[in-house]
Structure formats: C-alpha cells, structure tokens
Structure 1
C-alpha cells in the first residue's frame, strides 16, 4: 500500500514518523475519514472545511492548503489503483508534529500530515446497540472535533462486543443520548425524525448535516433535541450515520427490538440519489 506523508507518496513500509510526534505521544492531532465512490471523494469540500475549522480552533497550522490536501487524496487513490474502486475510504491525519517532552506546545511546530486509503466492502445492513459505560463530555472541545484521542470510543465499542452487540450507544455526562462509537444516531418518533442536539457532546457529522438538510425537502420533520434514555422505548425506529456507512438501520437497543421504519428506507433512497448526483458532478 502506498501512503502520502508530508508531500511525498511512498510505500507504507518505507514511511517514517518521528518518535517524538505529538500525535503518537499525546493524541495531539485531527483526522477526517471520507468515502470515495469510483475515485470520487464524497463531500470532500465539507470534510476539508471541517478539518480547516478544527485546526484553526486548536491552533494547529496545516502544512498544506485544503485544496492541496484534497488533491493529494485523489492522487493517492490513483497511486493505489483505487480510482475506479466501487467503494474506498480515505483518511487524512494531521498532528502538531514532533516536540519536546511535556504538554507545552512547540515554539515552532512542524506538523505531520498523513493520508491513507483502502478498498471497502459494503456497509452492514443493520446494527444492534447497547448502552456503554464511557460518557461523552459536552464541555470538552474535542467532543465536537475529529480529534485523535478515541480511547473512550474504543472501550465503548469493545464493551458492546463483549455484551453481544454490534456497537455502543453512548450517553453524555448529563445522561442524555449522544451517539454510537463512531456514528451519529437518529430516531423516529410520531412520524418525526429526532437526533441528539449539538450540545450533547456529539461530533456534528457530515452525513448528519446532509440529512438535516435533505429530510425537510422530502417532507420529513426533523428536530435536534436532548434525548433522555427513557424515551428510547417510545421510538418507532432508529438508524445511525457516518461518512463511510451512510444510513444503517438499528434493529436492537439494550435487548429491545427496534422495528423497521418505512421512512428510513425512503430517506436512505433519497440520500443515495444525493450521492449519485455528487458523483455525476465530478
């Protein structure tokens, strides 16, 4: 596999990242994961804008322009023979680079920027969830960013696996429903689409944003709310979203079966049309 590292494409086995890199030592960095269909990276501009905004927020100077990073992603797909793959993932990782020991920021940061890609299979047809122990912290700036520290998510996912579920359902520190381990979540309630609000410690996902804009266009009312776990028993359907999976129905939460909702299929079909249009615009 070939990777793109600091402006150079090379074999992954030949790449070298400084052992003092703060991304490795402290999780001091950001990332974006994108879906490519037949070499076309979906919502690339939105991902790049989110990366740029996050980097500015945490004071991490990007070593390349957003346009250069986007072009590098396309070049890497081509170099790996994935420019015509039905589905591929592209990940951009940027760290603050090497630095001295301790937490203080380096006086003159030299960020590391890594891009990788891989062919993907089809997303799962359905998922089961179980409420996990780790909580999302709405007060943490990193909860709203694609930041490198993902230990809580990793532990939540493993806890779900040990309990026989496909993924975790995470609450925030106020006890409200937040998200899955690496996905946003939506529920159907009385014909309305409900999703946790941005103040529940969620990452505002790119697919989530697309659905919030798309749903009203096809006659679906949608609301961002604080959702207490007690409401889960009243929901008539659920699904999770992220850039790689799209929309995946949730069929079970904490041992309770969640019925299939006809509107999920309708919304998923509308989203697929949106992706098809994005591909045609290439």
Structure 2
C-alpha cells in the first residue's frame, strides 16, 4: 500500500499535506472524525458511518460537504493506495478562522482522509480499570465523534498507570457509559446488553449493527453488573475484544460470545 491522502479536494503524498496553523481543528478540536474498516476493497457499513458523520456536523453547525463527494473521495483513497484491507480515518474540521472561539461566517471546512494498513495482530484482551473521568450523558457531544477526545485519552492513560490497558467510563450519574474507544457489552443469561445512548454511550457503528440484528439490547448498567456477567466484550468498527479483568479482579470469560459477535459483524 502506498501513502496517498485526500486533502481538500485532491490526492497528495503525505509530505505534500500542510495543515494551516489557523485551522480550528488543530487549535480548538473543532471538528469530527470517523474511522472506517476496509474489507475486500470496500468500506464496511459506510452508510452508518456517513449518517453519524453528518449528524455530528449538524450538531456542531459545520457546513456539510455533499455526501457523494465524500464517498467518492473515500474510494479514491482506496483505489490510489490499492487497498484491500485496512482502515480509513476521515477528519473534517470547521476550517480556518481568526483567533477566538466564535467561528467566522462563511468558513470553508477542511477534509482529510488518511489510509492505514491492517493491524499485524488481533487486539489484546482488555484489562479494565474504572476511570475517575466521567462521561457527560447530558451533553450532545457524547453522541458524536468530535476531535476533542481528551477525557478518553486521560482515562486510557490512567488505566495504563494503574496496570490496565483499557478504561471503563461511568457517566455523571455513576452508571456505565462505555470504554475509552469502544462500546461495552455484557452477557447476562445468554443475552447481550449494552448501555443506552442516554447513559452516555457513543452510538457506535458496530453497536448499531448488532442492535438492528437484535443480537444486543439496551439496558442501563452499573459497575456491579460487570463482575457477575457471563462475559464482558468491547466492540468498535475495528475490533472485538474480551475483557478479562476489572480493577485487577478476574472476570468470567465466554470466548464463544466474542466469536459470535465477530461473525455477526463480518456478515
């Protein structure tokens, strides 16, 4: 795979891409992103990714580019990099503006699409740590993928400092919301459950696929629900991971649960 990127309407080599120092995505995290899995040269669940992308743009009041242009740019990156497997990271910022918080009128959004090769190995099992960071279930930003991921970054760094490799984020009310970059599922009495969006869970693409297939149901979860679960699994567009410990205590494992989820998402 080569390293050709889409940047503001054209394909460029990585070294040719230069972000303007006044770009609000760089300065303020003013934008959204999507990470999409490429499988057999196609983008998995592209309509769902685009729906979430455009919902985020509407909430942030960023002028949306035409969907056909975005889709065409995504497949142009796949074609020019001769991709069969891997992922695409789409970043869309509000664009450039003067110093200050209020954006100017008539902004021109910045669109960047970067290809990545497939991972060399399956993601490791998750050793969960309950983070001191909280997810604000009342904020509209909890429902979109903004460029400001600092709470999730800090939660993951905290988990590493405490001997884990993944964080569980609770919401302001103390209920389970999600992991640092994944939705969280538990299996109880053979049924897969996941926190609702109203509890601060990001409306993940893999999560939506499983909900539409009726393999998962939404339920409010507390931290006490995890140790008693038959399995705890983390999912996003790229990975399905078993959780094996929570705050240093072993969790029950049911490998067939993760296998069943992987099979459903690959179909």
| TM-score where L is the length of structure 1 | 0.89
Whole-Å separation in 1 of the counterparts to 2:103 and 2:93: 12
CA deviation digits over 1:13-66, x for unaligned, max 9? 11122111111111110111100013211011111121112212221002x311
CA deviation digits over 1:209-231, x for unaligned, max 9? 11112244xxxxx4312212122
Whole-Å separation in 2 of the counterparts to 1:126 and 1:110: 42
CA deviation digits over 1:82-132, x for unaligned, max 9? 2x3xx3110111111011111112111111111111102143152221111
1:81 corresponds to? 82
| TM-score where L is the length of structure 2 | 0.94
Q: Is the 8 A contact 2:59 2:140 kept in 1?
A: no
CA deviation digits over 1:165-207, x for unaligned, max 9? 1211111111111111100000011222111111111210000
2:207 corresponds to? 208
Whole-Å separation in 2 of the counterparts to 1:158 and 1:229: 20
Q: Is the 8 A contact 2:195 2:218 kept in 1?
A: yes
1:238 corresponds to? 232
1:99 corresponds to? 97
Consecutive aligned runs of 4 or more in structure 1 exceeding 6 Å deviation: none
Whole-Å separation in 1 of the counterparts to 2:259 and 2:39: 21
1:40 is aligned to 2:39: no
1:192 is aligned to 2:191: yes
Q: Secondary structure at the match of 1:234?
A: coil
Whole-Å separation in 2 of the counterparts to 1:263 and 1:187: 10
Matching residue within 13, 27, 30 for 1:11: 13
Q: Is the 8 A contact 1:215 1:267 kept in 2?
A: no
Whole-Å separation in 1 of the counterparts to 2:167 and 2:69: 36
Structure 1: any 5+ residue segments left out of the alignment? 217-221, 275-282
Structure 2: any 5+ residue segments left out of the alignment? none
